[in-house]
Amino acid sequence: MPERTLVSPQDIQRVVVRIAHEIVERNRGARDIVLVGMQTRGVPLANRLAATIEGLEGITVPVGSLDISLYRDDLSSLSLKPTVHRTDIPVDIADKQVVLVDDVFYTGRSIRAAMDALIDLGRPQSIQLAVLIDRGHRELPIRADYVGKNIPTSQNEEIKVYVKEVDGEDKVTIIAPSKEVTDEND
């Protein structure tokens, strides 16, 4: 079955604006917030959230990028070309409200790894999770605080998120059925 678009660029923009509002509302402002995007597509989403929050509150929220390759629980079954990007978080996260940002929320294993990675960097006041797409099929007791779209899927379907900064366009698509699940979508 071909790739089918589920979420349009406009919808993605609306979701970013809504989640930015929710983050500010829940944290009563933006003062102690640090946005941490997960490599690769979480990073541009975090940057967009930061820009939106700056428009709302007039505060520049620090944005970092987190690579979880070194924290994965499946290293030996990893890709043909193991790639690890640099983690770059510009501020000390101790006592901050850290909002993790990812594109697709799936098994929860990446988020588990991300939480371990963050805690190694310092002791945040809290860790919250913002995701563009929640596709279900959790394998760990982890939930998201901010969800863009809930998209119920079967496990042999593939959800692909495209963002302008990486892929040249904004959209979310579904491909089904697919034999393999790429490791970007967990």
- Per DSSP, 86 falls in state P
Q: Which is nearer to other proteins, 31 or 70 (CB)?
A: 70
The answer to whether the CB of 8 falls within 8 A of the CB of 148 is no
What are the start-end ranges of the E strands in the chain?
4-7, 33-38, 63-66, 97-105, 126-134, 146-150, 158-162, 171-175
Distance CA 164, CA 177 (A): 26
Does residue 173 interact with other proteins by CB under 8 A?
A: no
Biggest CA–CA distance in the chain, Å, is 48
Distance CA 101, CA 64 (A): 10
Does residue 51 interact with other proteins by CB under 8 A?
A: yes
Does residue 112 interact with other proteins by CB under 8 A?
A: no
Q: Is 61 helix (H, G, I), strand (E, B) or coil?
A: coil
Q: Which of 45, 65, 132, 159 binds other proteins (CB under 8 A)?
A: 65
Distance CA 105, CA 123 (A): 24
Q: Which is nearer to other proteins, 52 or 153 (CB)?
A: 52
Please tell me the count of residues contacting other proteins according to CB under 8 A. Answer: 41
Distance CA 127, CA 145 (A): 10
Does residue 50 interact with other proteins by CB under 8 A?
A: yes
Q: Which of 2, 90, 141, 152 binds other proteins (CB under 8 A)?
A: 90
Does residue 59 interact with other proteins by CB under 8 A?
A: no
Tell me, residue by residue from 69 to 88, as one string, x for binding to other proteins by CB under 8 A and - for no binding.
xxxx--xx-xxxxxxxxxxx
Q: Which is nearer to other proteins, 65 or 128 (CB)?
A: 65
Beta carbon of residue 50, minimum distance to other proteins (angstroms, whole number): 5
Does residue 17 interact with other proteins by CB under 8 A?
A: no
Report how far Cα 93 is from the mean position of its chain's Cα atoms.
18
Beta carbon of residue 60, minimum distance to other proteins (angstroms, whole number): 8
Residues that bind other proteins (CB under 8 A): 37, 39-40, 43-44, 47-48, 50-51, 54, 60, 62-65, 67, 69-72, 75-76, 78-90, 116-117, 120-121, 165-166
